Each structure stands twice: as C-alpha cells, then as structure tokens.
A and B are shown apart, each in its own frame.
Chain A
C-alpha cells in the first residue's frame, strides 16, 4: 500500500464519518476500531493494524481529536505489554491478550523492580521453577503501578541460579486472579499510594504464558523498557482533546480513566510545575525580588533549552539524520528542571512553603510539588543510571569494572 499523508487523512476521515457515534457503547466502538485497523494502525495487519508507518500516527490522532472520537485503551502499562507480545510473544498469546488490551477489558502492570534490585534490574531474585506443566513463582516485586486493579503482569524472574546474572532470567505473563498473588499498596512520602508491593507465594503460571525461551528474560525486558522510555511522555495522556463534545460514550471513557489515571494525578507536580512560576511570582510580589528573579530566569532558561533540545532531536529523526546526543538527555534534563522549579516555588512561597493541603498555597499544589519532586530523579532509571548511559553510549566512556560476573548464586546480594 502506498502510504501517503493525504490518503491516510482521507481514509481515517471516511472511517470516522461512517462509524463514529458519540453515543455508542465503548466496548462495541473499540472492537469496531480494532477490526478496522484504526485502533493501532502502525501494528501489523495480522494483529489489528494496517502496517502504517509510525510517522503517520500523528495524522490519525489529529483526525480522531477533530471529531472527538474515543481511541482504543492506551493508558498505563497496557501498550508496553502489547508491544512486548508483538515482538516476542507467540501467536496464541497474541490471540489471547492483544484484543482485550485494546478494548480496555483487561489491565496490565509491570513486575520488574524488586526490593533488592532497583537500578540493578538484572539482579532479580524472584524464583521461577518449572513443576510439570506450570511455572511456580516465589518472591516479591515493588513499585508496581496499577497492581491493585491489574488482571495481568509482565514478570521478570530467575529460572536458573547457576548461570551468570543476565542469562538466568525468563519472562512471563502472570495472572493476578489467583491465591498465590497478594498486593499491598505502598504509601509514598507525598501521601499518595500510586504503587504497590506484590508478593508471590507459589503463584502459578501455565507453561504457555512464558514469553520467549528460558534465558530470554533480560532481552525481552529491554524491549519493554525501550517502549516505556519512548512513551514516557504520553503514558498518562490519553488522546482525548475533545473539548465541547458530548455523548454517552464519554461517561464510560471517563469512568475508566478515573481509575486508570488516579495513580498519575501528582505526576505534573513531580515535574515541578514550571508553568506556575511566573504567575505565582507576580501574584505574590516575589517578581520584585532580585534573588527570586535570578532563580526564575534560570528555571525558564533551562525549561526553554530542554524544549528546544527535544525539538532538535525530533527534527533530526524526521529528517533521517543519525540520532545525536540530544535524544538521550531528556530524562536528566527533566530532573534538573524539577529541582530548580522546587527551589523557585520555595523562594516564591517563602514561609508559606511549610504549609500543606488546604492551608498551603494553591490548595496544596505547592506542597505537593515540594514533596513529589524527589521522585523524578529516581523513577524510570535514576539520574545516576542516566548519567552512566549517557557517558557510556553517547560519549563512549568506559564501563565500571564489574563485580557481578560468574554464576549468579555466588554474586553478592542485599
């Protein structure tokens, strides 16, 4: 097929004109989208897509937004699960799971981090033992977003302790609806509980829910993480810029999102809320303080530079130029900006920075910024890990000598 911008726009438009109904049932509509291929058009034809080049995705999104059409379910970890199964799963797994990921009927989470392996993800000590036709899982995961209402999890666990660290890992689909899986919320320093601890006591996984082969776990987890990084910006921004549109389907979509997006309500505050700096400085009069002005300007400069750097990365990619260093810097830049923003909000608030909730500035938003910013330099790869990646992969610097080679059972652990 000849993929051309105008053709795609026309085809989407025609499809939406003929099919979009804001009063349709959410599930019915999504199934229709999936069958037509317009739910995930860049996916393969065989699996609900149209083999459309990724670059044209924006056009499809624009046409959906234009008429306020609800998309397939995309919030949370679900698309990471789907992409991982597309890349490494077998056909019966794709048959069983992909459609219900897109309809929103089943929710997924990611079971990678453990109390003993955070930055060092490959140090997983969750045990997977094959007993007859089932894998039996024992151990503990942590920082699991959405585990409290998840149906399935992407699990990284160790099947062989005699192999070196990265080679003894395997990858599984874990069904949460069983006795051997217990979920406890993990309360954070900012009062929210967006994450969970997940305990496995002889949890069972049918043999066909192993993804790939024994020992493929690390490589497959890298696929999942690559998609996580790629989607970092829009993981919690469901494409629904629908403004004044009305219809019964929105009530259904909103109800779904209320649950799915709840863990993410503090994420904007985690990033520092740069948008509030100048308006609050004007409102409080801090705009006349020369020290505050210096720090605000510093923040605005960082924020602009980060924005332009991201645009440079995107433009280079679109022109097919080799990826420069600017692409891998976003995460670290975000941490620096958030910290500077917290400093600025403290300067602006003065002694009010000690107040929180209804007693605090902006109905507690400022306090939430100050108490959420520490997370941004940890979640999704700490600043230190980012610096390792940047210095090794972009600048070509040497790796630290390793202390964790040889059979994993002999490697020092927590």
Chain B
C-alpha cells in the first residue's frame, strides 16, 4: 500500500522511457504554437503501445482493468515531462464521470471508444458563477436541452464528446452530469482561451439549445459530483508531483554545474538548504498523492480528506519547486529559452485548477468538523 509493486515500478519505467525517447521540450514548444496543442500521431502511439488508455477502466468496458494507483503512476510520468495531450481530459475527467455516474449502457457505449482513443472526450463544469466556489451553478438543463457557456474547458478542441455538469432546471438544483455529442446537429461553439500554461489547452464552450442525455439515473448527484472533484484532484496531484520532481532534479543539476566565486554553487548552503527543504516538500506531496490514489483504488471512506490533503500538498510543493528552480537558475531561469518557465506555468495553472491551497485547507477542516462533530 505504501510501496509500489514490481509491476507498478515496471509500468513507471515503461512510461518514463517512452516519454524520454519520444518527447522533448523542443517538440512541446512547437506544439504550444499549434491549434490542437498536441501531437496526434504520438498520442496514438502512446495509447497503442503502452495500453494506458482506460488504464483504470474495467476490462469489460475496454480498459486495462488496473486501478487508480496505476493511473496515478502514468500521470506522474506525464507531468514530469509536461507531456501535452488530451489524456487528462479524456482518460481522467470524462472517464471518471462515466465510471462514477454512467449507466451500464452508457459505459458500454463510450468507455471502450475513449479507452482506444477513437473518441476524445472532456468535462465542462466551470462557468462564470462557480469559478470561486465549484458548487455554485447558475446555468441549467431544461427539458433535456442545454444553453449556456462553460469556461476553462480542457482539450475541447477536437473533442467528440463533452460531458456537461449542470443542474436540472426542474429538480433540486444539484449538479447533474449530461452527455453532449459534438457533431453537425449540435450547436456547440469552441473559443480558445489564452492560458499562461500553453502546454494544456483550455477554452470556452458555448452550447446553443444542445440536446443532452442524462448520465446515470440522476440520483446521489451531490455525492457523485463531490467524488468526481475528489478523483480529479487526486489525478492532478499525481501529475503535479511528477513536474515538481523534475524541477527539483533540474535545479540540483544546474547548481552542481554552475560555478561562481570559484566553486559550484551547489556547495553553498544557501543553495543546498533550499534544495533539501524542497525535497522534503516534494516527498510530502508524493506521499499524499500516492496515498490518495490508493484510497480511490481501495474505496476508502477517508478519500474526501485525503484528496484535499493531496491537492493542497502538491499545490505548495509544485509552486515552491517552480519558484526555487527559477531562483537557483538565476537570470537564465527568467529567460524564454530556458525551459524552467514551462514547468512554472504548469505549476501555476495546476495550483488553481480544481481548487487553491487555501480552498482545500478549508475543505479539509469542514471534513474534519464533520468527523469530530464540531
């Protein structure tokens, strides 16, 4: 539970090797300029060769039948190299929504196609009213049709399926999940949004009287929505610790090679102590991210607490890593040509995506309040 199995270590090696051999920041920088933001053929190779599509989806729905722990490992390795792709949107967010909420028929229809990469899917949940409080939805679905504007939607460009989260106008205003098929009959308009993190595409999606299909039976909506968010936080936290680890390694390597005052700056306590403190933060965040992934894999009732701990811990670790890495690089770290800023930007956008550190601390307290009866 606290150590990886041999198979898991092997999976990590395989994904790491794939990423090391077939991706580079040079390539990523080129993709940052493109419309889709990712290399379609490389993405196909990844899904075909490593079988990581639908890694935590049961085999009956076309997945690999592994657990959230394995998904977390894959995400950590992708986060490590900032691998740009719709994997997070399709194989984490949309897949989780289907797994958590979908009926057996809906799962059977969509999960195999998402797992194989035939369908690219994403989830649209942010809107103007809930950017600060994820529970505060205003736009509703009326008579099975949705009109509204969703923001900060990841990888919506080229998506075949968008899962919309919005309350049903006639029900109790609790957030429900809806399937919107993108196609000729649906008036769905995509507008890219400038992001500080150009390695992850976000955009605004306008829905104009689009027919939507309810995901699942509409029960336990509050609980399912909150689980969906917890699952997303845990996935993102694991992706984030991969990036934080890369920043730490890059800062240490630079400090070992950079000579000032006649000695490598890594011999100076001002530098090495910063790195030691950073290692502690990164290891803490890894422990929390791994533990929360295990909680999902095991159906642990502590998940709500652990998810907030994982997101808060990886927020602070990734941002500290990003700030320290730039500081240790000195002036060169602030230049466009040096790669550090790519991770800094991913750290910043991930920090606020699915809840800031302060929000998760408060959420943790509310979850503890409940446990302690305060």
Binds B, one of A296-304, A339-347, A350-358, A368-376: A296-304
In the complex, whether B21 has a CB less than 8 A from a CB of chain A is: no
Q: Complex formed: what's the CA distance from A178 to B277 in Å? A: 46
Taking the closest CB of chain A, its distance from the CB of B1, in whole angstroms, is 7
In the complex, whether B370 has a CB less than 8 A from a CB of chain A is: no
Complex contacts, A300 vs chain B, CB 8 Å: 309, 364, 368
Total contacts A-B at CB 8 Å: 130
Partner of A294, one of B287, B358, B374: B358
In the complex, whether A151 has a CB less than 8 A from a CB of chain B is: no
In the complex, whether B185 has a CB less than 8 A from a CB of chain A is: no
Complex contacts, B263 vs chain A, CB 8 Å: 398, 401
In the complex, whether B372 has a CB less than 8 A from a CB of chain A is: yes
Which 5 interchain pairs have the tightest Cβ spacing? A297-B361, A391-B272, A305-B284, A315-B3, A315-B2
Binds B, one of A114-122, A185-193, A319-327: A319-327
Q: Which residue of B lies closest to A296 (CB)?
A: B365
Given contacts A329-B283, A387-B276, A395-B252, contact A316 B362 (CB under 8 A): no
Binds B, one of A51-59, A71-79, A152-160, A306-314: A306-314
In the complex, whether B105 has a CB less than 8 A from a CB of chain A is: no
Q: Which residues of B contact A (CB under 8 A)?
A: 1-3, 248, 252, 255-256, 263-264, 266-269, 271-273, 275-277, 279-280, 283-285, 287-288, 290-291, 309, 312-313, 358, 360-362, 364-365, 368-369, 372, 374
Complex contacts, A395 vs chain B, CB 8 Å: 248, 252, 272, 275-276, 279
Given contacts A301-B312, A391-B275, contact A314 B2 (CB under 8 A): yes
Taking the closest CB of chain A, its distance from the CB of B107, in whole angstroms, is 32
In the complex, whether A223 has a CB less than 8 A from a CB of chain B is: no
Complex contacts, B365 vs chain A, CB 8 Å: 287, 293, 296-297
Q: Complex formed: what's the CA distance from A390 to B272 in Å? A: 9
Interface centre among A386, A390, A401, by most chain B C-beta atoms within 10 angstroms, is A390
Complex contacts, A332 vs chain B, CB 8 Å: 276-277, 280
Complex contacts, A401 vs chain B, CB 8 Å: 263, 267
Contact B288 A304 (CB under 8 A): yes
Contact A391 B312 (CB under 8 A): no
Partner of B362, one of A294, A311, A387: A294
Partner of A390, one of B2, B255, B276: B276
Contact B361 A293 (CB under 8 A): yes
Complex contacts, A297 vs chain B, CB 8 Å: 312, 360-362, 364-365
Contact B284 A384 (CB under 8 A): no
Contact A387 B272 (CB under 8 A): yes
Contact B2 A398 (CB under 8 A): no
Contact B362 A397 (CB under 8 A): no
Q: Which residue of B lies closest to A383 (CB)?
A: B273
Complex contacts, A333 vs chain B, CB 8 Å: 280, 284
Complex contacts, A390 vs chain B, CB 8 Å: 276, 279-280
Partner of A301, one of B269, B288, B362, B369: B288
Number of A residues whose C-beta is below 8 Å from B?
A: 46
Q: Which residue of A lies closest to B360 (CB)?
A: A297
Contact B372 A386 (CB under 8 A): no
Q: Which residue of B lies closest to A386 (CB)?
A: B276
Interface centre among B264, B271, B275, B276, by most chain A C-beta atoms within 10 angstroms, is B276
Complex contacts, B313 vs chain A, CB 8 Å: 301, 305
In the complex, whether A392 has a CB less than 8 A from a CB of chain B is: yes
Q: Complex formed: what's the CA distance from A304 to B306 in Å? A: 9
Complex contacts, B275 vs chain A, CB 8 Å: 391, 395, 397
Contact A397 B255 (CB under 8 A): yes
Contact A308 B374 (CB under 8 A): no
Interface centre among A300, A302, A333, A391, by most chain B C-beta atoms within 10 angstroms, is A391
Taking the closest CB of chain B, its distance from the CB of A291, in whole angstroms, is 11
Q: A297-B364, A308-B290, A391-B279 are in contact. List 9 more A-B contacts (CB 8 A).
A: A278-B368, A298-B361, A301-B288, A305-B288, A316-B3, A329-B279, A329-B280, A332-B280, A397-B266
Contact A325 B266 (CB under 8 A): no
Q: Complex formed: what's the CA distance from A336 to B372 in Å? A: 25
Contact A282 B252 (CB under 8 A): no
Contact A282 B374 (CB under 8 A): yes
Contact B273 A398 (CB under 8 A): no
Complex contacts, A302 vs chain B, CB 8 Å: 284
In the complex, whether A412 has a CB less than 8 A from a CB of chain B is: no
In the complex, whether A318 has a CB less than 8 A from a CB of chain B is: yes
In the complex, whether A243 has a CB less than 8 A from a CB of chain B is: no
Q: Complex formed: what's the CA distance from A296 to B366 in Å? A: 12
Complex contacts, B283 vs chain A, CB 8 Å: 309, 325-326, 329
Contact B2 A312 (CB under 8 A): yes
In the complex, whether A96 has a CB less than 8 A from a CB of chain B is: no
Complex contacts, A294 vs chain B, CB 8 Å: 358, 361-362
Complex contacts, A306 vs chain B, CB 8 Å: 284
Given contacts A278-B368, A395-B252, A400-B268, contact A312 B273 (CB under 8 A): no
Interface centre among B287, B360, B362, by most chain A C-beta atoms within 10 angstroms, is B287
